[in-house]
Amino acid sequence: MRVDDIARRVSGKLQGNGAITIRGVASLEAAGPEDLSFAEEPRALSRARESQAGCILVPRGGAIPGRTTIEVEWPKASLVRVAEILYPEEAPAPGIHPTAVVDASADVARDASIGPHVVIEKEARVGAETRLAAGVFIGARAKVGRQCILYPRVTVYRGAQIGDRVILHAGVVIGSDGFGYVFTEGRQHKKFPQIGQVVIENDVEIGSHSTVDRGSLGVTRIGAGTKIDNLVQIAHNVTIGRGCLIAAQTGIAGSAKVGDHVVMAGQVGVGDHARIEDGAVIGGQAGILPGKIVRKGATVWGTPARPLREFKRMYAWFSRRAATESRITAAQKRSR
């Protein structure tokens, strides 16, 4: 793919040799003469001068003298567009593999691709152009929408509802029972009914071995466009809004409410019935206590979570505590 063709496709301003052939994309450090790379921040632009990349996507006004560059509004996003062209995904042929088990009452689109050892139970539905890889299980009356990709060994329990263009990576479990028990008079933990539902809206992506429990009596819902990393646990009756980003090893306890465009870093813990409002940012390993409210647009850190500015002050104080105690002890000894 020629550089001048790339410039046209990303509506960018070319400087340098448009006849260079680009065959791949790479980081600034790893790129070679046939690779496309990108630089957005000032530090990256400085490193870009030493890169061997054949062409570099840069912000408007960020052209590098003597180098072949394309100025665009969002270099990283433009790189994604080019990568999709250079590395097209090979879609399997439509049809049902001979080893798949599909109930006669299931509704499977003719152009869906059903891989080896897939199981689709009674009255389940699989939409057009959807791909189910080897070992996927679709429970009774579950629905999987159009143009979805379910990677190997994804499990979708009975009745779960999955929208269009959803991607579920290997080992994801949708609709398992929530962790709900009642402590009875006989001092036993008796299971509370887990008979609710899971709804995954359009354009959601969920990473490998993450789990989304069904509602106990209501609905667990993941909003459109939300992206969830590997090894994330979402409990029963949780509601997550649109366009959220949730990083690995995060756990969200039952009946928590998460607004739109919330960002959670790795290993965040959210207590039951907590509420996180739109646009909040939760720092890595932060703990949101049960019932806690994180206000719209706030950035919080620590356990229990507190506003970032307050957390920084407390962290600095604790960091100086040992030295302060030593000085106090020395002063006390001198005064005796």
As annotated, the active-site residues are 236
Which stretches of the chain are DSSP H helices? 3-9, 42-48, 75-86, 308-335
SS (H, E, C) 129-149: CCEECCCCEECCCCEECCCCE
Secondary structure class of 4 (helix, strand, coil): helix
Q: How many other β-carbons are positioned within 10 Å of the β-carbon of residue 309?
A: 10
- In angstroms, the CA 235 to CA 267 distance is 15
Q: Judge residue 35's burial from the number of C-beta atoms within 10 Å of its C-beta, 0-12 exposed, 13-18 middle, 19 or more buried.
A: buried
Which long-range contacts does 308-317 make (Cβ < 8 Å, 24+ apart)? 308/283, 311/283
Query: What Cα–Cα distance (Å) separates residue 224 from each residue in 81, 137, 221, 276?
Result: 21, 23, 10, 17
Residues 162 and 142 sit within 8 Å (Cβ to Cβ): yes
